[in-house]
Chains A and B, each alone.
Chain A
Amino acid sequence: QVQLLESGGGVVQPGRSLRLSCAASGFTFTSYAMHWVRQAPGKGLEWVAVISDGETYKNYAASVKGRFTISRDSSKNTLSLQMNSLRPDDTAVYYCAAAHDSRWHTFDYWGQGTLVTVSS
Chain B
Amino acid sequence: TQLLEQSPQFLSIQEGENLTVYCNSSSVFSSLQWYRQEPGEGPVLLVTVVTGGEVKKLKRLTFQFGDARKDSSLHITAAQPGDTGLYLCAGVDTGRRALTFGSGTRLQVQP
**A and B are interacting partners:** no
Residues of A that sit less than 8 Å from B by CB: none
Residues of B that sit less than 8 Å from A by CB: none
